[in-house]
Amino acid sequence: MMTVPEINAVRKHLKVSFEFFPPKTEKMEETMWRSIHRLAPLNPSFVSVTYGAGGTTRDRTHGSVTRIQGETGIPAAAHLTCVGHTKEEIDQIARSYWNEGIRSIVALRGDLPDAGDKYEPTPGGYAYAVDLVAGLKEIADFDISVSAYPETHPDAPSSDFEIDYLKRKIDAGAKRAITQFFFDNETYLRFRDKCVAAGIEAPIVPGILPVTNFASLLKFADMCGASVPQRLHWRFEGLDEDPDTRRMVAFHEAISQVEGLISEGVTDFHFYTLNRAELTYAICHALGIRGTEQVAA
């Protein structure tokens, strides 16, 4: 455990990034843009926009990414996946992003449109994320993020395989890894230690998911293999129809998790906002991340 002066030194170097998903309706789009403009003054390292399973949100992802960077000036990172596209199609998308000033990509294998289907590489496409990273670096000097799974990807045969594959993605040109969300800090810290032991020097950025809807969280967790501690079941029990209390509990859980990671020397955090700004903004404020506008005031 770090000393108080050491923890305070870490706080001076805190950096955050935010993730959004392409909205499906006009109302959802209004909510997303209100959230983006609410969070933009916090000066995140970047804002990323997800890519639907099988590339189903390609145009909406592209539109959101270019608009975010154009309106806010914040570096926008486009998610790009292997599923459903040939190499030529992906290369064309990547060149288009580069030509429009987008320099950051989150390179992923991607999910199939039908969640229960077994993954098979798209004929003529990049087979896996490591291949996509290498291909993107041949096109241009993108700032590339990749995924990491402290609790092991559902398709990975073992945790050792997970770490070995992550190292291959970093060696191929990725600059950082962003983890799947987790709620047990020890799980992340053990994973980070194993990555360091394997020779991975790139940052392993923890993905933080403030809980806005516990029932939805359970579905997300089941799909990606993330565990949900019993304490969360207990603390969110009976709050489905009590949004105010639910938000207070969610804030306490998230800020406690982040504070615990800071005490272990973690400086970078990636927030899965689910297109809502309230909890993420409150957490950042409590951490002392106020942005230039707030500091000037």
Give this prediction's pTM. Answer: 0.93
Q: Among the residues of the chain, which ranges form H helices?
A: 4-11, 26-39, 58-72, 87-99, 129-139, 159-171, 185-197, 214-224, 230-236, 243-262, 278-286, 291-296
Sheet holding 143-148, edge to edge: 204-205, 176-179, 143-148, 104-108, 76-81, 47-49, 15-20, 268-272, 207-208
Digit-coded pLDDT (tens) for 188-204: 999 999 999 999 999 99
What are the pLDDT digits (tens) for 26-78? Answer: 899 999 999 999 999 999 999 999 986 555 566 788 889 999 999 999 999 99
The mean pLDDT value for 207-233 works out to 93
List active site positions: 19
- Which pLDDT value is given to residue 282? 96
Q: Which of 18, 19, 24, 34 is nearest to 57 (CA)?
A: 24
Determine the pLDDT at residue 188.
98
Number of helices (H) and strands (E) in the chain: give both, helices first: 12, 9
Overall residue count recorded for the chain in this entry:
297
What per-residue string of b and e applies to 81-98 under the rule 16 or more CB within 10 Å gives b? bbbbbebeebbebbeebb
CA distances from 265 to 133, 204, 233 (A): 28, 12, 28
Count the Cβ atoms, other than its own, within 10 Å of residue 143: 17
Q: Which residue has the higher pLDDT, 94 or 110?
A: 94
